[in-house]
Amino acid sequence: KIKILIYPPIRALKNYLDGKIHGYFPALDVRLPKPSNKTSNFYAKRDFIFFHKDNPKRGLADLEGQRVGLTFGYAYPKSLSSNKNIEKFFVSSDDQNVKKLELKRIDAFVVEEMSGLSAIKRTGVKDVTYNPKAVLHAHDVYFAFEKTDLGAKVTKKFTQVIESMKKDGTLKNILQPTKNYRFIK
């Protein structure tokens, strides 16, 4: 039997690192300083630069000297988080960032693809887009469990289910990107 608890991302990681919970997800290598049992990946987190349609951005160099929106609790690679030439503004939601972007209060917003597209849909902003061919960062996402015998057993069972879902298409259907968004070419 397992018990699933839902926490904000930073608290979930802290509870895991403090040994208060036995595993957590979504886990990414950029955020996991503790040796862990890892399932096979179930998703690839792909970050993109969302921008105002009047001011396109393609890569990390385009963010230097710019005001960039980020979301509290999300994992960002050091190439972004440690870059002193990028002015970073953190807010609590993707919706806030796309609204700020439409109003040109920030120059760009770095976000995982589906999260950014969902924020555009929820807020109804019209002038925010991204280039789906310009992936800024990509990270495998998996379940992390403690380095114990129990953690190893749970990891094995989760991996079997993930692989089965990959094979029969269930996982792809669950993670299918939303259609009908405005993409640039």
pTM: 0.76
Dist. CA 29–CA 144, nearest whole Å: 10
Instruction: Write out pLDDT tens, residues 53-65.
Output: 999 998 999 999 9
Do 111 and 119 touch, CB atoms closer than 8 A? yes
Instruction: Write out pLDDT tens, residues 113-125.
Output: 989 999 999 999 9
End-to-end CA distance of the chain: 48
Dist. CA 45–CA 103, nearest whole Å: 27
Dist. CA 119–CA 130, nearest whole Å: 13
As given in the structure block, the two tokens for residue 99 are 């609204």
Dist. CA 12–CA 24, nearest whole Å: 7
